[in-house]
Amino acid sequence: QWPDFIQIKEVGPRDGLQNEKKRVPTKDKIAWINKLSETGVREIEYSSFVHPKWVPQLSDAHEVGRKIKRNPNVRYSALVPNLKGLDLALEAGIDGASVFMSASESHNKSNINKSIAETYPVLEEVIREAKAAGKHVTGYVSTVFDCPFEGKITPEKVIEVCDHLVDAGVDDISLGDTIGTAVPSQVEALLDKVLDRYSSEKIIMHFHDTRGMAIANIMTSMQYGITRFDSSIGGLGGCPYAPGAAGNVATNDILYLLHGMGIKTGVDEKKIEKAALFIQKKLGKTLPSKSLAYAVAQ
């Protein structure tokens, strides 16, 4: 029994772009996000209020947030690592704040320069302030299957981090296969334990497609009743602190899968294709989505 409806969060402007060396001019990002706003997606992660030296591509988050044309049917969210980031994000305009940390000690350290124990109080403050400002808060947990430095991460460790974030007040949790190593049996092993504790509505799956396993993992997640997935248009992206990682599952590919199976998303595939071609042209390189490549060849 497959779900009737799957909710897609478009993370291309954040996760997709953050690893791109070629700077996309701010006006092009705004035009692109405005296109994405008209595709039917209900949530767009439009940028990241991290330190500009760490992710130079997204150093214009504030201007982007101020200038995009907001569609009232879309939740506009952004990544925030600390109170400084949250203040800037609130000023620029967000409906949702996404906090993030890793289930692996060494990835957490290389990504946000803190141990896991040092991260909790920082995020607790951010979550409290974001909730007080009336914002939706998502907690990302990275490296939930494998860490590029430490190898296997146990479901127990993932749950420990989820528990901290949920106790601190996040509305939902996005579980990240940051480097795209997982296979369906790993997804089963994790969801068996996570869904013992949390309802499937609270969980979002965030698969990177480094080895082409994302669609298989999404199928497995749907069998577990998961109905929310993050995806990146054209498959754009990676993680700057996870060497070799590829982008998220392509929005184009997950839409092809879901619509072909008769599962609704509310997202217009043709409009996604156009928005993917727009950014592909600006970046001057071919995006990895196979569905996009095939559509273009027709």
Instruction: Tell me if 20 contacts Mg ion by CB under 5 A.
Output: no
The single residue of 61, 239, 276, 283 carrying the catalytic annotation is 239
Quote the least distance from Cβ 132 to ligand HMG, whole Å.
18
CA distances (Å), origin 176, targets 146, 190, 195, 230, 231: 10, 12, 16, 9, 11
Judged by CB under 6 A, the residue of 9, 135, 206, 228 near ligand HMG is: 206
Query: Whose CB is nearest to Mg ion?
Result: 15
Judged by CB under 5 A, the residue of 10, 15, 20, 269 near Mg ion is: 15
Cβ-Cβ contacts under 8 Å for 132 (sequence gap 6 or more): none
Instruction: Tell me if 140 contacts ligand HMG by CB under 6 A.
Output: yes
Judged by CB under 6 A, the residue of 155, 176, 234, 288 near ligand HMG is: 176
Name the DSSP class of 281: H
Inter-residue contact 208 to 239 (CB < 8 Å): yes
Instruction: Tell me if 84 contacts ligand HMG by CB under 6 A.
Output: yes
Quote the least distance from Cβ 179 to Mg ion, whole Å.
9
From 204, 143, 151, 212, select the one nearest 183 (Cα to Cα): 212
Instruction: Tell me if 104 contacts ligand HMG by CB under 6 A.
Output: no
Name the DSSP class of 243: T
Q: Which residues of 30-62 are buried (b: 16+ CB within 10 A; e: fewer)?
A: bbbbebbbebbbbbbbbbbbbeeebbebbbbbb
Which one of ligand HMG, Mg ion, none interacts with residue 50, CB within 5 to 8 A by kind? ligand HMG
Quote the least distance from Cβ 100 to ligand HMG, whole Å.
4
Nearer residue to Mg ion within complex by CB, 268 or 279: 279
Stretch that binds ligand HMG, among 49-57, 124-132, 249-257, 286-294 (CB under 6 A): 49-57
Inter-residue contact 34 to 68 (CB < 8 Å): yes
Instruction: Kindly state the number of chain residues that form the binding site for Mg ion, as judged by CB under 5 A.
Output: 1
Stretch that binds Mg ion, among 7-15, 71-79, 86-94, 127-135 (CB under 5 A): 7-15
CA distances (Å), origin 150, targets 29, 70, 108, 117, 181: 35, 41, 11, 17, 13
Would residue 162 show up in a list of annotated catalytic residues for this protein?
no
Start-to-end C-alpha separation, the chain:
33
Q: Give one word for 116, left, alpha or beta, with left for phi > 0 and alpha for psi -120 to 50.
A: alpha
Structure tokens at 90: 């609130």
Contact residues toward Mg ion (CB under 5 A) are 15
Provide the annotated active-site residues. Answer: 239
What are the residues binding ligand HMG (CB under 6 A)? 15, 18, 48-51, 54-55, 79, 81-82, 84-85, 100, 111-113, 140, 142, 176, 178, 206, 208, 239-241
